[in-house]
Amino acid sequence: MKLSKSIKVLGAVIAVAVLAAPSAVAAVSLTGAGATFPGPIIEACKAGYNKETGNTFTYGLGGSGAGRTASDKQTGIVNFSDTPHLAAREGVIHLPVVAGPIAVMYNIGNKKPLYLSPATVAGIFGGTITKWNDPKIVAENNRSVQEAIYKTDSKGVVVKDKAGKPIVLKTVTRNIRYTLPPKPIKVIYRSDSSGTTGAFTAALNGAAPEVWTKAGNNAFGSSFPGTLNDKANLGRITGASGSAAVAAAAAKTQYSVTYAESSFAKDNGLAIANIKNEAGNFQAPTSGGVSAFLGAATVSAKGIVTFDYKTKDPGSYLFGTTSYALVDTKQKDAETAKAVRDLLSYLLDPKCPATDPKQEYTTITGALRDVNLKLIAQITN
């Protein structure tokens, strides 16, 4: 089947505020933990969900590994992982209800966007491109580049056609000139078990397998194409736990680069790169670019998404991804089951990402939405 991502550092927990809601039914307090990727959209949509249902959702940011563990131990009701949990208990389903971009963000003294191919990004994070003025980076940032611009409404939300495909307003050509510093690149990666890492490294392997030679993995070191602890990498490639931590570390470290959800770049004053796709265009990490990328993906009846990193859609942003809600189909009672269905449906609703369009989460449409709705219907007591 074809199928058509600001949060501030809030510590370890994002909690849905308890607001008074006119309801004759007692409010349900849902809990969960896991991936940092959906954290910003949960935070943005918490008030709307509470207002409509009277229910609350308390979500802990611990990384996808924490989400899978919580699901296994049944310590949360709606947990999240950015990569499939293939060893999940029987009865646990995957619902890819959140989609958005993973941004390549950096601190080199200004906010100008860099233009990078997947192979160059793979070389930077893989340790074969070690200076900002490497000839490959220089060549990609002193040339003419093309970029697709999407049509948006008055709120900044990308407009889609009847098929759920984002509408390209125009394609622009930019003549770029960038003087890059002759400084070592300091790479900061996620040191925890991270679905963001899993999705990012899978994209590097899928889009530039000749450079990023290992399959994607939630553990950065396991996917790293060389030897992470090689003497040449010590002190230059370092780790931090969580998206907020890597972005904060990059903000404090001049000439650094990292990867995380776009909103963390904005909160930490980091610049963001435009990434070259197979059509030859350089796309920013936007909701429109992610939507175009998802349009070339496939989804199974179980909700597992397979991405096409070689899509030639001119507007696709190749570091787009989804985050899976891990949920038991059988809940303890009818009220809890309905609260879970309502939460997942609210996250899917266009008004959720439209609450804060600058986060660049995309509205899920097409076959992926259809599969989500079928899976949500399976949640009963």
Q: Is the Cα dihedral 207, 210, 211, 217 positive or negative?
A: positive
Q: Which CATH number does the domain housing residue 251 bear? A: 3.40.190.10
Which of 259, 294, 329 corresponds to the end of one domain? 294
Within-domain flag for 299: no
Are residues 93 and 223 both part of a single domain?
no
Total domains in the fold of the chain = 2
Which tokens in the block code for residue 295?
């349009």
Asked if residue 16 has pLDDT above 80, the reply is no
pLDDT in tens, 152-203: 887 777 788 877 778 888 888 889 999 999 999 999 999 999 999 999 999 9
Within-domain flag for 313: no
Are residues 89 and 135 both part of a single domain?
no
Q: Is the Cα dihedral 211, 263, 295, 141 positive or negative?
A: negative
- Provide the percentage of residues in the chain whose pLDDT is more than 70: 93
pLDDT in tens, 202-238: 999 999 999 999 999 999 999 999 999 999 999 999 9
Within-domain flag for 145: yes
Rounded distance between C-alpha atoms, residue 211 and residue 213, angstroms: 6
Q: Is the Cα dihedral 117, 119, 125, 131 positive or negative?
A: negative
Average pLDDT of span 122-137: 97
Within-domain flag for 80: yes
Helix or strand (DSSP H, E) at 137: helix 135-140
Asked if residue 89 has pLDDT above 70, the reply is yes
The 10 Å Cβ neighbour count of residue 328 is 19
Helix or strand (DSSP H, E) at 14: strand 13-15
pLDDT in tens, 302-331: 999 999 999 999 999 999 999 999 999 999
